[in-house]
């Protein structure tokens, strides 16, 4: 019996490798297939408009990645997408579907500008740190409220987080047209602006701001927290089977509040980045749909924070090509939003394919029964 032990261990190791390969390949190829299907459908739409789909895709590529200037524009747009994607990806580990990214971003931006104006006399580094903390806390509390009413009152988190987006937009309009309004902003109501020295600066020798570093660091920390710590293991346990987690004594309510706060704080930090690096004040431009695009990034990345970095860059490139499509082909600037919608529908449909495709299923070995053995 002992002589066969190494062989059994080797067989078990091969089985584990096979299962891991099948799971990994499924998580890679199904989203890629969904994106390819989206490209085909969007190409058909473009052809119906009398446009050459291949020429449009070529323009998108050139506008997003064709040269250094294009790359910088793509990275600028990808920074908030990395952060807002975590607002959906982190709660998803608990089994929650949060889509309140846009609201958390707006509230985070409002908190950041309010703090920045309140401490404007401090050194710039301290002002930016205070703004970042205000954005983190505001966005975190915004989404944590969704988690709280889900756990303690049973309110559906998807619906409540969606409605919170509209509340945040209404709050933004009320404040920038009321108590926070700068009297000099006539055509476009805005808050009082930040001074240039308190703005988030650009990375040397580029026009990409340091918000990109915030996004990269946040995604790396989120991955480590979820995949490499006991806290992350507890979170994934709750997401896998909440009843088993409660039986095991895990603090499900506490975990829900913490994770939703962390997800919302990332989106709130994205709002701070938009205010401190792009707009310089709070206005209607803060509602730029980065939160909704972050939902798509999280779904394509399968809630993996590291993969979300790559997807955010691709999505940022698509968003940056909208004006080029308008100039070159006469298509509306919202064409890229249509493309996003098609991709989102394809990704949602692809969720139903996991575990159903024969190629990714485990094939059980056929057991042949000897006739003489069966007779015995």
Sign of CA pseudo-dihedral 147, 148, 150, 152? positive
Q: Is 301 helix (H, G, I), strand (E, B) or coil?
A: coil
**How confident is the model at residue 208, as a pLDDT?**
94
Burial class of residue 284 in the structure, from the number of CB atoms within 10 Å of its CB (0-12 exposed, 13-18 middle, 19+ buried):
middle
Three-point CA angle 324, 327, 328, nearest 5°: 80
Confirm if 234 and 255 have CB atoms less than 8 A apart.
Answer: yes
Task: Give the integer Cα–Cα distance in Å for 201 and 277.
Answer: 7
Backbone angles phi, psi at 362, to 5 degrees: -75, 130
- Residue 14's pLDDT is what? 57
d(CA 196, CA 124): 10
Structure confidence at residue 29 (pLDDT): 83
The residue among 31, 94, 28, 25 whose CA lies nearest residue 259 is 94
Exposure string for 52-68, b = 16+ CB within 10 A, e = fewer: ebeebeebbeebbbbee
Structural domains of the chain, with CATH: 52-330 (1.10.3470)
Helix axes 53-65, 322-329, angle to 10 degrees: 140
Of 359, 362, 363, nearest to 29 by C-alpha is: 359
CB 222 within 8 A of CB 305: yes
- Identify any residues that bridge with 202 across adjacent strands, giving them in sequence order: 209
Q: DSSP letter at 287?
A: -
* pTM for the full predicted model: 0.86
Q: Report, in angstroms and rounded to the nearest whole number, the Rg of the chain calculated over CA atoms.
A: 24
Residues β-bridged to residue 191: 181
Average pLDDT per consecutive 10 residues, the chain (376 residues; last block may be shorter): 55 56 74 89 91 91 90 94 96 95 96 95 95 97 97 95 96 93 88 93 92 96 96 94 92 96 97 95 91 92 93 91 85 83 87 70 51 45
Rounded to the nearest 5 percent, the helix, strand and coil shares of the chain are: 75, 0, 25
pLDDT at 360: 58
**What are the two backbone dihedrals, phi and then psi, of residue 119, each rounded to the nearest 5 degrees?**
-115, 30
């Amino acid at each position: 019996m002992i002589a066969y032990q190494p062989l059994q261990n080797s067989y078990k190791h091969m089985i584990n490798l096979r299962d891991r390969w099948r799971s990994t390949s499924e998580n890679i190829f199904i989203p890629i297939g969904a994106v390819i299907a989206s490209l085909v459908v969007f190409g058909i739409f473009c052809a119906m408009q009398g446009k050459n789909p291949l020429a449009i895709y070529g323009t998108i590529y050139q506008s997003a990645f064709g040269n250094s200037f294009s790359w910088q524009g793509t990275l600028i747009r990808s920074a908030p997408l990395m952060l807002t994607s975590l607002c959906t990806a982190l709660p998803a580990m608990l089994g929650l579907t949060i889509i309140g990214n846009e609201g958390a971003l707006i509230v985070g931006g409002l908190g950041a500008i309010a703090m920045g104006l309140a401490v404007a006399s401090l050194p710039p580094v301290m002002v930016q740190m205070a703004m970042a903390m205000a954005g983190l806390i505001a966005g975190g509390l915004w989404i944590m409220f969704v988690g709280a009413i889900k756990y303690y009152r049973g309110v559906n988190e998807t619906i409540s987080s969606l409605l919170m987006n509209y509340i945040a937009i209404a709050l933004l309009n009320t404040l920038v047209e009321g108590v926070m309004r700068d009297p000099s902003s006539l055509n476009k109501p805005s808050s009082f602006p930040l001074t240039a020295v308190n703005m988030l600066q650009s990375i040397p020798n580029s026009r990409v701001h340091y918000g990109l570093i915030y996004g990269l660091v946040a995604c790396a920390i989120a991955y480590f927290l979820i995949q490499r710590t006991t806290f992350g293991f507890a979170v994934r346990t709750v997401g896998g089977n909440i009843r088993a987690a409660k039986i095991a004594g895990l603090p499900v309510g506490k975990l829900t509040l913490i994770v939703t706060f962390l997800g919302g704080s990332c989106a709130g930090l994205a709002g701070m980045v938009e205010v401190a690096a792009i707009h310089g004040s709070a206005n209607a431009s803060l509602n730029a749909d980065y939160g909704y695009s972050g939902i798509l990034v999280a779904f394509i990345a399968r809630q993996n924070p590291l993969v979300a970095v790559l997807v955010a860059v691709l999505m940022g490139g698509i968003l940056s090509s909208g004006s080029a499509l308008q100039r070159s082909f006469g298509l509306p600037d919202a064409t890229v939003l249509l493309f996003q919608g098609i991709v989102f529908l394809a990704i949602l449909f692809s969720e139903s394919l996991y575990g159903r495709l024969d190629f990714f299923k485990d094939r059980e070995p056929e057991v042949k029964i000897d006739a003489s053995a069966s007779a015995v």
